[in-house]
């Protein structure tokens, strides 16, 4: 008989990188030991951030068999599956919503494995352990965000509720060039994108896509300025520290694609992507000058260009943004799981999620009909 145990890691450095990544974490750049370590070592998560490291590790007969990136959260910022209304309702009823247990990649609305293990029983055990830890610690609940569809199927056996949401992803249908992709669009949409790209590229400078050793410290200095500007306007305070980008350069620059717009020898805008085995993930954008359509060129069109050239199956361009639809990014279902300790609150959320799921389904169908593709060429 095999014996399985699940324990909590106070820091990812408590487990060797080979053991963490060997469970399957290397299949997604955001769940790798080096990415999560960069967050911790740079102070982007940890003391004073509201993200207190509580990773789970499952062992079978003493052997590491599965891991899950988990945090004790004292707020709901940086998650992108919004539960602010739940928190307000819970506290109006006299409960204490925070802290809660969150299984997620901080500040990263990217789909991928969260219950990271090659064997299904271990994945289920990790999920059940989250509920057990939350119950024993008196937490309001445990949440798993942007997990895979296969992981979402474990919700009911583990006593979790499943939540559906949507993002916009670009799907590669075996295109050889960007023009091949455009050929699948309606004439009006095809012309609009061509004109948009022409206007964006006429900003008076040049655009470069940099990877690995092509990215220099000065490029990160410029991008930090872009990130601060965007973060200051959207969130009030940027989530990531400057040291995070230094760690990213040290340990993950080969996984980074930095698209920079330069004018008069100076970077004026940039978009950062991370490269996975099968997908390109758009993450951050910023600019110090405003030029028409430059955002769309750097974040969406150049990402498609790169994905086609390197044979990647999709581009995930982050959370929200129906403006992505006109640029070939289709509505795609995403998943999250939620365990709630209070039974009455659990029932209320279950009813809400049922109605929300119907609304999401209807919206996805409607948006797919509005997509830029010629009828019958592609389906979401």
**Per-residue pLDDT, 2:** 82
Domain assignment present for 378 = no
DSSP three-state, residue 100? strand
Domain assignment present for 322 = no
How many domains does the chain divide into?
A: 2
Assess whether pLDDT exceeds 60 at residue 307. yes
237 or 261, greater pLDDT: 261
Assess whether pLDDT exceeds 80 at residue 377. no
Q: Are residues 252 and 363 in the same domain?
A: no
Q: Are residues 179 and 128 in the same domain?
A: no
**Per-residue pLDDT, 321:** 83
Domain assignment present for 72 = yes
Assess whether pLDDT exceeds 60 at residue 142. yes
CB atoms near residue 108 (< 10 Å): 23
Assess whether pLDDT exceeds 80 at residue 310. yes
Assess whether pLDDT exceeds 60 at residue 380. no
**Per-residue pLDDT, 375:** 73
Assess whether pLDDT exceeds 80 at residue 237. no
**Per-residue pLDDT, 198:** 98
Mean pLDDT of the chain: 95
Q: Are residues 283 and 201 in the same domain?
A: yes
Domain assignment present for 227 = yes
Using the Cα atoms of residue 207, residue 318, residue 369 and residue 148 in order, give the sign of their dihedral: positive
DSSP three-state, residue 39? helix
Assess whether pLDDT exceeds 70 at residue 234. no
Q: Are residues 158 and 299 in the same domain?
A: no
**Per-residue pLDDT, 11:** 98
Q: Tokens representing 94?
A: 């006299």
Domain assignment present for 323 = no
CB 114 within 8 A of CB 68: yes
Assess whether pLDDT exceeds 60 at residue 331. yes
Q: Are residues 77 and 48 in the same domain?
A: yes
Tell me phi and psi for residue 352, to 5 degrees.
-60, -45
Q: Are residues 122 and 264 in the same domain?
A: no
The arithmetic mean of pLDDT across residues 46-61, rounded, is 97
Domain assignment present for 318 = no
- In the block, which residue shows the tokens 């995930």? 316
**Per-residue pLDDT, 150:** 96
**Per-residue pLDDT, 319:** 85
Cis peptide before 99 (omega within 30 of 0): yes
**Per-residue pLDDT, 230:** 76
Domain assignment present for 71 = yes
CB atoms near residue 94 (< 10 Å): 6
29 or 375, greater pLDDT: 29
The arithmetic mean of pLDDT across residues 252-276, rounded, is 97
CATH number at residue 102: 3.40.630.30
Q: Are residues 80 and 52 in the same domain?
A: yes
Q: How far apart are CA 28 and CA 151, in angstroms?
A: 15
The arithmetic mean of pLDDT across residues 168-179, rounded, is 97
Taking alpha carbons only, the member of 280, 276, 319 closest to residue 301 is 280
Comparing 31-35, 314-318, 374-378, which segment has the lowest mean pLDDT? Answer: 374-378
**Per-residue pLDDT, 322:** 86
CB 245 within 8 A of CB 293: no
Q: Are residues 140 and 177 in the same domain?
A: no
Q: What is the DSSP string of 270-303?
A: EEEEEE-SSEEEEEEEEESS--TTHHHIIIIIHH
Q: Are residues 138 and 14 in the same domain?
A: yes
The H-assigned helical ranges of 153-293 are: 155-158, 178-182, 187-201, 217-234, 242-252
Provide the percentage of residues in the chain whose pLDDT is more than 70.
97
**Per-residue pLDDT, 200:** 98
Maximum Cα–Cα distance for the chain, whole Å?
69
Comparing 88-97, 161-170, 221-230, which segment has the lowest mean pLDDT? Answer: 221-230
**Per-residue pLDDT, 1:** 57
Q: Are residues 77 and 115 in the same domain?
A: yes
- In the block, which residue shows the tokens 């982050």? 318
For 145-156, b/e burial (b = at least 16 CB within 10 A) is: bbbbeebbebbe
CB 240 within 8 A of CB 107: yes
Range of the domain at 141: 4-166+332-369
At 378, the pLDDT band (50, 70, 90 cuts) reads low
Q: Are residues 160 and 187 in the same domain?
A: no
Domain assignment present for 267 = yes
Q: Are residues 193 and 339 in the same domain?
A: no
């Amino acid at each position: 008989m095999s014996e399985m145990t699940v324990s909590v890691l106070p820091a990812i450095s408590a487990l060797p990188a080979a053991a963490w990544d060997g469970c399957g974490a290397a299949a997604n750049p955001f769940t790798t030991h080096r990415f999560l370590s960069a967050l911790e070592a740079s102070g982007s998560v940890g003391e004073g951030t509201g993200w207190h490291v509580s990773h789970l590790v499952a062992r079978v007969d003493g052997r590491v068999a599965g891991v899950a990136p988990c945090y004790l959260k004292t707020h709901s910022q940086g998650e992108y599956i919004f539960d602010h209304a739940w928190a307000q309702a819970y506290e109006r009823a006299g409960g204490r919503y925070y802290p809660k247990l969150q299984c997620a990649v901080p500040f990263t609305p990217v789909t991928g494995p969260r219950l990271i293990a090659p064997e299904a029983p271990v994945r289920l055990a990790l999920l059940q352990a989250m509920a057990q830890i939350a119950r024993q610690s008196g937490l309001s609940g445990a949440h798993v965000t942007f997990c895979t569809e296969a992981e979402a199927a474990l919700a009911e056996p583990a006593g979790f509720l499943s939540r559906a949401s949507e993002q916009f992803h670009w799907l590669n249908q075996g295109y050889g060039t960007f023009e091949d992709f455009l050929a699948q669009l309606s004439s009006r949409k095809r012309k609009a994108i061509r004109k948009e790209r022409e206007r964006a590229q006429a900003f008076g400078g040049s655009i470069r896509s940099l990877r690995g050793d092509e990215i220099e410290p000065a490029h990160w200095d410029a991008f930090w300025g872009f990130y601060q500007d965007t973060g200051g306007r959207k969130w009030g305070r940027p989530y990531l520290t400057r040291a995070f980008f230094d760690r990213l350069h040290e340990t993950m620059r080969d996984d980074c694609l930095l698209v920079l717009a330069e004018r008069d020898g100076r970077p004026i805008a940039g978009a950062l992507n991370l490269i996975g085995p099968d997908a390109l993930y758009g993450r951050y954008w910023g600019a110090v000058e405003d030029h028409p359509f430059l955002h769309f060129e750097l974040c969406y069109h150049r990402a498609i260009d790169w994905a086609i050239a390197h044979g990647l199956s999709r581009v995930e361009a982050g959370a929200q943004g129906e403006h992505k639809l006109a640029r070939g990014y289709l509505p795609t279902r995403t998943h999250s799981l939620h365990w709630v300790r209070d039974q009455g609150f659990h029932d209320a959320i279950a009813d809400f999620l049922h109605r929300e799921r119907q609304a999401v389904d209807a919206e996805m169908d409607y948006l797919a009909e509005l997509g830029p593709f010629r009828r019958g060429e592609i389906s979401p």
